[in-house]
Structure 1
Amino acid sequence: MSTATEVSALARRVRAALRERHSGAVFGDLRVLPGGHSGLTYAIEAGPVAYVVKAVPPGRRPVGRNDVLRQARILRALAGSQVPVPGVVAVDESEPAWFAMEFIDGEATEPVLDEHRLDPLLCRERMLALAEVLRNLHGTTGPRPTEPLGPAAELERWSRTMRAVPSELRPGAEELLDALAARVPESIPATLTHGDFRLGNVLCRGARPAAVVDWEIWGHGDPRIDLAWFLLFTDHRNFPRLGRAVPGLPGERELLTAYLDGHPEPPALDWFRALARTKMAAIMGHNLRRHREGIHHDPDQERLPPTIAAMIRTAHDIVARRP
C-alpha cells in the first residue's frame, strides 16, 4: 500500500511526462483502479483523455508481477500488430519505475464465471473472435525474454505450486502429477505467449476485442499452454459451484476449430488440456490456503474445493485417455 506522499510524488512524475502530449491540459489525480494484480494500477485524466498508469510499489524490486517495464516492452512490441493492445505513451525507468498507456473503453467479462447480463450470443461472438486473436499472437514475431520453457519445465513449475498446497485441499493430485510426468510430450516451436489468455483479460467493444490486457506473465514458450488454458473456459461444468451456463457458448472443439483455421491440430493437445486443469487446481488451492492461513482473508475462497477436486479428477481422466 502506497502512502499519500508516495502517490503524490508518482503523480507529479506522471503529469510531467504527459504534459508534453497535453500542453495546457488540466490533470486529475491518480486514482486506484480496482482489479489490478501486478504492481500498482492507477488511472489519470489529462483534460478529456484518460490513461492507465502501472507502477512498481515503492520499496519493492521490479521483478515478477511487479516488473511493469517488462509489460511495457511487450505492449510496445505488439503495437500495430494483429493483436490489439493499449498503446504505451510514456515510460519512466527511474525508481520506482512506471509506464502509462491508453485507457481503452470496453468490458472484460468471463462468461462462465462472472456475474453478468450479457446476451449469450454476444458472449459466443466474442469468444470466437478471440480465437483469431490468439492465433495471431502465436504467429507474431516478438521479443524472446528467456529460453522457452518446454512441457517438462511447465509441469515442474505447476507441480511445485500444487505441492505447496496442503494435501487435504488437493485430493488425487499426486497421482495426477505422476501421470503427467510419465507422458510428457515433445516440444514444438515456441511462440509469443500471454500466459493467462481468456475473455476475462480482454476488453471488448460489442463483439470485437479492443485490447488484450494483463501481460504480467507473457513469455516465449509453447503455444499449447495458451490454447489449452483458453479452451478451459468454454464449459461452466468445469467449475462446480462457481460456473454458470451460457447457452450457445462454443465448446472446446468448436473453439479449437476456430483457432486452427484449417491448420492441423497441434500434437498432444490433450496433455496440455490436463495440464491446464492442473494449473487451475494449483492456483485455486494456493488461494484457498492463503485464505485459511489468514494471509489474505477472502471467505469466497471457501467455494473452491469442489472445483479443485473436479479439475484434478478430469485432468487425470484426460491424461489417462479415459472418457
Structure 2
Amino acid sequence: MSTEKFEGELVARVTTALLQQRPGLDVGSLARLPGGHSGLTYRLETGEGPLVIKSVPEGQKAIGRHDMLRQARMISALAPTGMPVPAIVATDETEPAWFAMELVAGESLEPVLDSPEVPAELAAARMLRAAEILPALHDVPLDKVPVDADPLTPRDELARWARTMAAVPPQLVPDADRLHDLLAGSVPAAVTPTLVHGDYRLGNLLCNGTEPAALIDWEIWSVGDPRVELGWFLVFADGTNFPGVGRDVPGLPTADELVSAYAADGRAVDELAWFNALGRYKMAAIMGHNLRRHLEGRHHDPDQEKLPDTIRRLIETGLSISS
C-alpha cells in the first residue's frame, strides 16, 4: 500500500472514531511529524484543536516499541496520578492499531543536542525541575498502572543493551566489550522496583517555561530499578559527552546537583556510578546501532557519520566511571 493510501485510510478511521464521540466535529488534514522511531506519528487538525496520532506502520507487528496501545494504556493510567501526560482521546485495536491524544503545548528540546539552542539559564532550570519531579514517577503505585511483565533488574538492563551492542561491528564501538565486562562484574543488587519511563530526558518532556507540561514517548516503559532512569538522565547533563554532535551548555546543573534534587526527600541512590556508566553504555549501543544501519544502507542518514567521536567518548567515560 502506498503511503498516501495508508494515510488516507488512517484519516478515515480516526475521523469515524472521533465523530462517534463528538458528532459534528470538523476533522482536517494529517501531517507526519518528524523524529521518533516508535511507529508513525502525525498531527491531525480538528475543530477543537490539534491531536497527535500514533499508528503502527502497515505490515509491522504491534510489539515492543511499536505497540501503540501499550503506550496508550500507560498514559491513560497515569492521568489520574498527577503525572503530567497528554490526554488520550481515542484508541483503535483494529490492525494497524492507533491512538489519538491531545497535542500539549510546550517545548521539548535536549539542551546539549537539539536545535534551536535553549538559553543556558532556561536549560539549567528545566533540567533541575525535571530531576525534582522524577520521584513522582517512581512513586506511582504499581497497582495503578498496567504492569505486563516481571520487573527488570540491573543485570537484566545490562543484558538488554548488551544484545543491542552485540549487533554492532566492534570497530564502531571500540572498548565496548571492556566496559561491558566491568559492568557485568559489579552489578548492584536491585532495589524495590518502580515504574520506569525508559527514556526520561528533556527531549521527551514538554515544558512551558521551566514547568513540565507532559512526559511523552512511552514506547519502552517498564518496571525496574529507578536508578537506571536516573543514570540515563545524567548522560544528557553534560554536553562534553557528545563531541561532534552536541554542545557544552554553560551553567547546567552538575550530576551531584541533579542527584541531590532527585533525592531531596532522602530516597537512596546508592551505587549510582554503575548506573551512570550503564547509561553511557546504552547510548553508545544505540548510536552504534544507528550508525551501522546507515553504513549498511538500511536507513540513509549522513548525520550518523558524526557519531564515532561521541561513541568513543561515551565508552571512555563509562570506563573511567566504572574503574
> Which band: TM-score by shorter chain?
over 0.9
Shift of 1:160: 1.6
Alignment match, 1:179: 182
Q: Is the 8 A contact 2:130 2:202 kept in 1?
A: yes
- Alpha-carbon distance in 2 for matches of 1:75, 1:227: 21
For the aligned residues, what is the CA RMSD?
A: 1.4
State the 4+ residue runs in structure 1 displaced beyond 6 angstroms. Answer: none
Aligned-partner residue type, residue 279 of structure 1: K
Q: Does residue 166 of the first structure (1) align with residue 166 of the second (2)?
A: no
Alignment match, 2:123: 123
Question: 5 Å matches for 1:148-163?
Answer: 148-163=151-166
Q: Is the 8 A contact 2:18 2:25 kept in 1?
A: no
Q: Is the 8 A contact 1:2 1:58 kept in 2?
A: no
CA 2–200 in structure 1, closer or farther in 2 if over 3 Å, else same? farther
Aligned-partner residue type, residue 98 of structure 1: W
Q: Is the 8 A contact 1:192 1:221 kept in 2?
A: yes
Q: Does residue 217 of the first structure (1) align with residue 220 of the second (2)?
A: yes
- Of residues 284, 309, 312 in structure 2, which corresponds to 1:309? 312
Question: 5 Å matches for 1:101-120?
Answer: 101-120=101-120
Alignment match, 1:13: 13
Aligned-partner residue type, residue 126 of structure 1: R
The alignment of Structure 1 onto Structure 2 pairs a total of residues equal to 320
Q: Is the 8 A contact 1:82 1:137 kept in 2?
A: no
Q: Does residue 27 of the first structure (1) align with residue 66 of the second (2)?
A: no
Shift of 1:264: 4.3
- Alpha-carbon distance in 2 for matches of 1:252, 1:173: 23
Q: Is the 8 A contact 1:64 1:216 kept in 2?
A: yes
Question: 5 Å matches for 1:1-323?
Answer: 3-141=3-141, 142-320=145-323
Aligned-partner residue type, residue 108 of structure 1: S
SS at 2:213 equivalent: strand
Aligned-partner residue type, residue 28 of structure 2: G
Q: Is the 8 A contact 1:169 1:305 kept in 2?
A: yes
- Alpha-carbon distance in 2 for matches of 1:36, 1:312: 24
Shift of 1:2: 5.2
Unaligned 5+ segments in structure 1 are none
Aligned-partner residue type, residue 82 of structure 1: G
> Comparing 256-265 with 210-219, which one deviates more in the overlay?
256-265
Aligned-partner residue type, residue 127 of structure 1: M
- C-alpha deviations, 1:69-128, integer Å up to 9, x for none? 000011001103232000001111112211110011111100011122432111111111
- Alpha-carbon distance in 2 for matches of 1:2, 1:235: 42
- Alpha-carbon distance in 2 for matches of 1:194, 1:55: 20
Aligned-partner residue type, residue 86 of structure 2: P
SS at 1:126 equivalent: helix
Shift of 1:203: 0.9
Aligned-partner residue type, residue 252 of structure 2: L
Q: Is the 8 A contact 2:76 2:87 kept in 1?
A: yes
- Alpha-carbon distance in 1 for matches of 2:36, 2:282: 21
Q: Is the 8 A contact 2:206 2:216 kept in 1?
A: yes
- C-alpha deviations, 1:43-66, integer Å up to 9, x for none? 112214111111111222111121
CA 238–265 in structure 1, closer or farther in 2 if over 3 Å, else same? farther
- TM-score, L = length of structure 2: 0.95
Q: Is the 8 A contact 1:108 1:200 kept in 2?
A: yes
- Alpha-carbon distance in 2 for matches of 1:285, 1:59: 26
- Alpha-carbon distance in 2 for matches of 1:169, 1:58: 32
SS at 1:34 equivalent: coil
- Alpha-carbon distance in 1 for matches of 2:61, 2:176: 33
